[in-house]
Every structure is written in structure tokens, then in C-alpha cells.
């Protein structure tokens, strides 16, 4: 048997390139977390690029002038949303913390009234098992109460750190200004300090990755934003007509967060909420919540095919595997990051994937 050194060195080189690429991706992920304000500024600058170019063409302005106008408009919007959002969240979270015990007692009473109609002794279970049934309800609600209080305490702790938030926001806005105004200069500097071959290859990959990931994130952001806006407006309307939705912003944010997670969706929150309201005798509120959920679902079903179709180019089973892998490694946020990393890997190793990964590595 002849040992082909050239063949195995070629295979080893291809495997090494894949491993090195994955290591670089992990390092980039770590760096992106560390330099989060600059990453946010970069994403915002990409979002603002179209309005900047529109102003340049429409009003025959220079890039600097157009960028400053769009930047000032963006600052005004972000500042207004931050002031309103933080003040409302602090108020709602504080009120919710004060009323947590009342809500838990009310839910406990409802469960007790339902469970009282069901006699465990009819099942003729062992005495120890019956005791577990009797005490499990108390333990369950105590754990829920502790979890809610801890979560709200952490939320208030985050909101109280306004100076830190202000520093991060300021750095993000300053970075955004320079990225919008001096984009051409920064690209020229990068091209000047890197080899020409690197610039061409990196430029092609970066444009493809930004295009794919940007389209995916834009589609998901629009869908989540639509869910958040519809739910928030719906809750305020319900308040105006006499329904008592005490924490509209907190609930709308919770629904948007759950809706951002693939598989789950807004119904994970709204359907159980409607059932609880109906069980509590508040049938009007239950129907209103269901109606709001139906409106959100119809709007999402209408928008989703237009926004998400052909944006990823990956079969749903692989997206599901990526979500699960992200969840196991990072937690809930990994369900969002998993598909994004998969899109990046698909763009980097597109040629290998088209040929068949194992086949492309092992072929001569």
C-alpha cells in the first residue's frame, strides 16, 4: 500500500482551515460581546445607510450633511424611547413587585378551588404520595413567588444603573456618528492596511454574510416589533375602554421576547393568560386577549412569508438543530444566536456544503 503524502496533507489542510475558521468565529463572538456598543453602532449604521443615501440623492446633500441630519433624528428617537421606556419600566416593575404576593395568593386560591373538587383519596394512592400532592401546590407557588421577585429585583437593579447605561449609550452614539459620517474614510483605511487579495476575499465574504444575516435579523426584528407594537397599543386600548391591564409595557416586552424565540411565539403567553382570566370569571378580558392574539397571528402570517422566505436558505431541520445547540451552550439567547451562526457558517463554507462536506474534504 502506497502512502500518498500529498493527498493526506491536502485533507489535513482542509480540516485545519475549517477548525481555524470555527476558532476565529468563536473569538469574534467573544470580541463582539466585549465591544457590544461598537457592534450595536455598526448594525445601526447599516440600518441608517439607506436613509442617508436617500437624503443625499433627494436633496443633493454631501454625505456628512446627510449623515448628521439622520444621526440627529435617530438620537431624538432613541432618547425619547429610552426616557419613556426606562421611566415606565421602573414604575411598572416597582408596582408589580408590590403586588406579587396578591397575585400569587389569588392564583393559589383558584388552584385550591379547582383541586378541592378532585379527591386524591379516590385513587387509593400510598399515604406518602398523597402528602406529596398536598404539599406540591404550596411549594410550586412559593418557588414561583421567589423566582418572580428575584427577576423583578434584577430588572430594577439593571434599570437603576442609569449612569452605566448612559456611558454605554454615549459610546454607542459617538461610534454611530463616526461610522455614518466617515464610512468611506474607514473603508479606505482598512483597504490600505490589508493585502489586496485579503481585501477582495474578505470584502466578498463580509458582504455576503452581512446580506444574509442582515436580511434574517431585519425580518425577525420587524416581526417582533410588529408583535410588540400591536400588543402594546392593544393593551392601552383595553385600558381606555375599562379593562384593567396594569403593566402594559412589561407584558408587551415579555410577549415580544417570547415571540423572538423560534417555536414558542406570542401564544405561549397570551393563551394561558386568557384561560386564567376566563377561570377567574373575567370572560370579557379573556375574549379581548384572544382577539388581540388572533390579530397579531394574522398580521404575522401575512408578513412572515414576505419577510422570511428565502432569507436563510437553510432547511428548517438544520435551523432547529442550530437552535437546540445554541440553547444547550448559551441558554435561551442561544436559540436566537444558533441560526445566525449557522447562516455565517453556510456563507463561509458554501462551496464545501454544495459539494458535500465529507466528500469535499476527502476528495483528491
Average pLDDT, stretch 251-262? 82
pLDDT of residue 236: 92
pLDDT tens per residue across span 49-94: 889 999 999 889 888 899 999 999 988 988 888 788 878 877 887 7
Worst-scoring range by mean pLDDT, 28-42, 118-132, 166-180? 118-132
Answer for the pair 217, 340: CB distance below 8 angstroms, yes or no. Answer: yes
C-alpha cell at 132: 406529596
Enumerate residues 6+ apart whose C-beta is below 8 A from 320. Answer: 262, 263
- Percent residues over pLDDT 90 in the chain: 13
Round to whole Å and give the CA distance between 153 and 179.
36
pLDDT at 120 over 60: no
Worst-scoring range by mean pLDDT, 28-32, 303-307, 326-330? 303-307
Average pLDDT, stretch 327-351? 76
pLDDT tens per residue across span 12-48: 887 887 788 778 877 877 787 788 889 889 888 888 8
pLDDT of residue 345: 79
pLDDT of residue 218: 77
Enumerate residues 6+ apart whose C-beta is below 8 A from 219. Answer: 307, 308, 311
User: What mean pLDDT is reported for the chain?
Assistant: 77
| Top mean-pLDDT range of 28-32, 73-77, 103-107, 277-281 | 73-77
Average pLDDT, stretch 252-270? 81
| Distance set, CA 188 to CA 140, 185, 344, 346 (Å) | 60, 5, 25, 28
pLDDT of residue 1: 47
Amino acid at each position: 500500500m502506497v502512502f500518498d503524502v500529498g493527498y493526506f496533507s491536502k485533507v489535513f489542510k482542509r480540516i485545519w482551515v475549517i477548525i481555524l475558521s470555527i476558532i476565529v468565529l468563536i473569538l469574534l463572538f467573544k470580541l463582539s460581546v466585549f465591544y457590544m456598543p461598537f457592534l450595536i453602532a455598526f448594525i445601526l449604521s447599516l440600518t441608517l445607510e439607506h436613509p442617508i443615501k436617500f437624503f443625499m440623492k433627494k436633496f443633493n446633500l454631501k454625505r456628512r450633511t446627510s449623515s448628521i441630519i439622520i444621526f440627529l433624528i435617530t438620537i431624538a428617537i432613541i432618547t425619547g424611547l429610552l426616557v419613556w421606556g426606562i421611566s415606565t419600566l421602573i414604575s411598572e416593575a416597582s408596582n408589580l413587585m408590590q403586588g406579587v404576593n396578591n397575585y400569587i395568593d389569588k392564583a393559589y386560591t383558584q388552584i385550591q378551588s379547582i383541586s378541592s373538587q378532585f379527591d386524591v383519596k379516590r385513587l387509593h394512592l400510598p399515604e406518602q404520595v398523597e402528602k406529596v400532592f398536598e404539599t406540591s401546590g404550596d411549594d410550586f407557588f412559593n418557588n414561583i413567588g421567589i423566582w418572580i421577585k428575584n427577576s423583578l429585583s434584577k430588572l430594577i437593579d439593571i434599570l437603576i444603573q442609569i449612569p452605566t447605561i448612559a456611558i454605554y449609550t454615549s459610546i454607542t452614539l459617538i461610534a454611530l456618528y463616526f461610522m455614518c459620517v466617515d464610512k468611506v474614510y474607514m473603508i479606505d483605511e482598512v483597504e490600505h492596511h490589508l493585502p489586496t487579495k485579503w481585501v477582495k476575499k474578505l470584502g466578498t465574504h463580509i458582504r455576503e454574510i452581512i446580506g444574509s444575516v442582515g436580511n434574517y435579523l431585519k425580518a425577525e426584528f420587524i416581526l417582533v416589533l410588529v408583535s410588540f407594537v400591536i400588543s402594546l397599543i392593544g393593551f392601552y386600548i383595553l385600558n381606555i375602554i375599562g379593562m384593567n391591564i396594569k403593566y402594559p409595557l412589561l407584558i408587551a416586552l415579555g410577549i415580544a421576547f417570547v415571540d423572538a424565540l423560534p417555536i414558542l411565539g406570542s401564544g405561549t403567553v397570551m393563551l394561558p393568560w386568557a384561560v386564567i382570566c376566563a377561570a377567574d370569571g373575567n370572560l370579557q378580558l379573556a375574549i379581548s386577549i384572544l382577539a388581540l392574539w388572533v390579530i397579531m397571528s394574522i398580521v404575522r402570517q401575512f408578513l412572515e412569508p414576505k419577510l422570511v422566505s428565502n432569507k436563510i436558505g437553510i432547511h428548517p431541520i438544520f435551523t432547529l438543530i442550530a437552535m437546540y445547540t445554541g440553547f444547550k451552550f448559551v441558554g435561551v439567547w442561544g436559540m436566537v444566536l444558533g441560526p445566525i451562526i449557522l447562516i455565517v457558517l453556510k456563507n463561509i463554507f458554501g462551496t464545501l456544503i454544495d459539494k458535500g462536506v465529507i466528500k469535499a474534504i476527502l476528495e483528491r
